[in-house]
Amino acid sequence: KMKIESLLIHGGIDGDESTGAVNIPIYQTSTYKQPAMGVNKGYEYSRTGNPTRKALEELIAELEGGYAGFAFASGMAAITAVLSLFKAGDKLLISNNIYGGSFRVIDKVFKNFNIDYSIVNTSNLDEIREAIDDTVKAIYIESPTNPLLGITDIEEVSKLAKENNLLTIVDNTFMTPYLQKPIELGADIVVHSGTKYLGGHSDTVSGLAVVNSKELAERLHFIQNATGGVLAPFDSFLMIRGIKTLAVRMDRHNSNAKAVAEYLRSRDEVEKVYYPGFEDHPGYEVQKKQAKGFGAMIAFVLKEGFSYKKFIESLELITFGESLGGVESLVSHPATMTHASIPADIRRKVGIVDNLIRLSVGIENVEDLFEDINRAIEKARQ
């Protein structure tokens, strides 16, 4: 079996057999010629299946160690399709600081269909255990969480879920299958915003889902085809292209993030740094056990007397914007951006305060990043 660094390049469908092209062609077609009534060559309509998309779907399934993969037009389309596996009267347990968009679709869309949720600290197994009742059908985890980088023991939660006949769904966007494989840890479904590290170049919006069984694959394919939020052929091609360099990018992301986290922690002007690679982080041991890296996401709080607005406005190299996981370093303000859809009281309760800044560390020269942060801190002094 190939190691993951090789699998990223050669996994799924490797090249094009009919021409010898080393890259999967972009099958920019909506429909397919059928040789006879009821006979086709495996494809009939591109919403149902497209060869470029299929190559990406097989690749992500192989990378995650799952049964089947599905590619969607965005991370939220993937999450929406997965949530569509549930029916009225079902209830989900969700991590207490999941991505704002995930919370919004559960709270504002699926709640209309009488699919309910309870917010729990998934890092605490007892809290999950207490929240399980007859209506609960799944546990929805992000690990590390967005933006406070809390860690959940995926293996232990999956065991607890299985004991209670529940599905375990893991958003693996921050870690990618290069660093963490939830299905191998016992999860049933993995979702990704492919827009982030998998695509890796801030040029494609996409979503991916991987399931661990034939039964879930059939159900999710039905939903994907019926609701139609599929990834286009060209975007599927860009995703495959991005994934080929995932290993080298993540290695640099990881090493840069560790250096930047330590740099921020060494600064007197910074009150707190959230980063799971610190040995005193409450989830450090679990993260070390279940992943082979700490990722490149950091959140930090500036001390009083420093304006977070001025800090963000003073950055020159680091880009202020939504999203994460691109080759460029990106900074965002969770309270008004990614987590604005979460009610303010819930936000504050979990620690998403107004002066919290989230940093997605890119693959630039790390000295340049230090310099940019230093300049912005100096200008943020009030």
For residue 270, give the amino acid letter.
Answer: V
The phi-psi region of residue 148 (left if phi > 0; otherwise alpha if psi is between -120 and 50; otherwise beta) is alpha
- Splitting the chain (382 residues) into consecutive groups of 10 residues, what average pLDDT does each group show? 96 94 97 95 96 98 98 98 98 91 96 97 97 98 94 98 98 98 98 98 98 98 98 98 98 98 98 98 98 98 95 97 96 89 83 92 98 97 90
What is the distance between the alpha carbons of residues 379 and 371, in angstroms, rounded to a whole number?
A: 12
The residue annotated as part of the active site, out of 53, 91, 181, 196, is 196
pLDDT tens readout for residues 345-375? 888 888 888 899 999 999 999 999 999 999 9
What is the distance between the alpha carbons of residues 203 and 249, in angstroms, rounded to a whole number?
A: 16
Name, in order, each residue with C-beta under 8 angstroms of 1's C-beta and a sequence gap of 6 or more: none
Q: Is 171 a catalytic residue?
A: yes
What is the distance between the alpha carbons of residues 171 and 142, in angstroms, rounded to a whole number?
A: 5
Q: Is 267 a catalytic residue?
A: no
Q: Is 197 a catalytic residue?
A: no
The residue annotated as part of the active site, out of 54, 90, 91, 99, is 99
The residue annotated as part of the active site, out of 171, 188, 235, 372, is 171
What is the distance between the alpha carbons of residues 221 and 74, in angstroms, rounded to a whole number?
A: 16
Q: Is 47 a catalytic residue?
A: yes
* Total-model pTM: 0.96
Torsion of CA 335, 196, 60, 17, to 10 degrees: 160
The residue annotated as part of the active site, out of 14, 32, 47, 67, is 47
